[in-house]
Chains A and B, each alone.
Chain A
């Protein structure tokens, strides 16, 4: 029982004393310690900066994906890479509106589905005011929910608008301002090209997007899908779908693919003439890239830590030979070999961990600096969500600590093995 109490107390005592000694030793040789740990500092700073940047990027992309809906699926026509259709004209590859009919019945994992068509860029005018290059899109009602573009004033496009092919539209706030319309502009008419449309609602602007979709400069106008089809000779069509949950996202992709192969009469063995993609897939790809970048950065940092470690070993050897007399004295007054060993090991570990700490601080500074430079140069905020995750801090410390253990071992053993008589005689 006494033994059980004594061992932890002795351990704590040894640790406290060694850490205290190590810190005073490092403090006594400030410049030298700083220069020695530079390798560790640079290594840890770069790895934390890279990890912080990646986590920030990931967090940013995730929030944007969430704003788009993680279950969103994009369906678009695409020329295949192989097979007889690889040189086919765009005209023959494009979707026909009827190819999507009854999709919901055949795809049980799909919750919502809506077709869209890109009508083009038009000049939109109201009385004497006009706005050029307005993106006009024909959308089915479900697209609003999938695309997370809620209507702030008025009502969204409805199935009745669609069925009756009504000349109604939704506009975004920018267009409303450009045309000097009232805040509540429901019921007023605008001229799109040569067609008159009645405004039924105002949609939220598209959130800023780092994928490049965030086109804040242009304003948008949404009209019913069928109206959009009518306005074009060869309409280009794509579709948005939403799976019932993230878990069945892959099922939904497979069902849509199977369904479209049938409606587009693609024979078995022939490649798809379309693409079905989910954000889940994209995220996975991004995650893979993140892992690769982290590993590569980790490798580079490993080398830098190795170099730093050699520096630590070098300085510890100097420290041991400088303090040979001290070691001799400590042994003479009763320090066991293990106590000397611990003293030098702890000194090396403390040195490395302090390097790690400074490195983490520098890493954070580096990230802030890069963020500010990017902001100033490109006017986009990419790294504002960058942070150093707890596991990265733990990893940095663990790594720095192991460098301390590994490279402090040899000098510490050398110190512990010194013969006290020889050591006391040392000049």
Chain B
């Protein structure tokens, strides 16, 4: 495990997520124990079906664990109401999606403002905060542009600005470079590095080794369980030793 100082932000204990399909029970998460500290940069890897998306959904409070304990920022989320979870998503979690999920009819600024519309305190100053967030991702000159006037990389930057605008405790990125070419991917990952150096906690789901190497800690999942949890250095070392095994990793 990576040696990390700082506050514990996420604590998972024996978290299970079981889907019922007919009479069958599918264990998408089969008992996850995980601890995350402030300002960590983590990559979650695994095959499709390994449970990494389910883990993201649970971490992002979009889905509830069937059993187990999930603590975010010191709050027990397992017993929260739907409305309280919405509030948690609004204030403590920033989502970045593979396909950006920007609203086409809104300008970049309005897209970034959107989470603040649902926020209790951010509403009044939303325009300034949105502008600041866009500045942070280097898009001050694209404020009035609509998504169809932006390049793929710019779109993802707007999405990242939207995720950051509420100053979330964690930034959850689900394959953030999946729809981008390698050059733009590199730019986005540099932006993540920069955000991390500014103190942002980042969790990123990916199946690309190159992308994962930007993170400081790599968790690989298999069949709803954590297969390995190593710092990036250790991960690289283990991959050299058992190189054949992890060759199958990208799906």
Contacts and interface: CB of A to CB of B under 8 A. Distances in A.
Given A330-B114, A334-B118, A28 B90 contact: no
Contacts, number: 53
B46 interface: no
A41 B45 CA distance: 57
Contact of B118 (A28, A325, A330): A330
B115 interface: yes
Nearest to B97: A424
A420 B95 CA distance: 13
A235 B101 CA distance: 95
Interface string B99-141: 0010101000000001101111001000000000000000000
Contacts of B91: 334
A421 B117 CA distance: 21
Interface string A1-32: 00000000010010001000000100010000
Size class of the B contact interface (CB-based, 8 Å): 20 to 34
Identify whether the interface residues of A are mostly helix, strand, loop, or mixed: helix
Contacts of B80: none
A363 B90 CA distance: 47
Contacts of B103: 326, 329
A335 interface: yes
A338 interface: yes
B183 to A, nearest CB: 27
Interface string A334-361: 1111110000000000000000000000
Interface residues of A, number: 21
A17 B101 contact: no
Given A13-B123, A333-B89, A337-B82, A424 B101 contact: yes
- Most chain B Cβ neighbours within 10 Å, of A13, A24, A424: A424
A337 B83 contact: yes
B63 A333 contact: no
A336 B105 contact: no
A17 B83 contact: no
A325 B101 contact: yes
13 contacts: A10-B120, A13-B123, A325-B101, A330-B114, A331-B86, A332-B95, A333-B89, A333-B115, A333-B118, A334-B119, A334-B166, A335-B118, A338-B83
The 8 closest A-B pairs by CB, nearest first: A334-B90, A333-B115, A336-B86, A334-B118, A334-B89, A329-B101, A335-B118, A336-B83
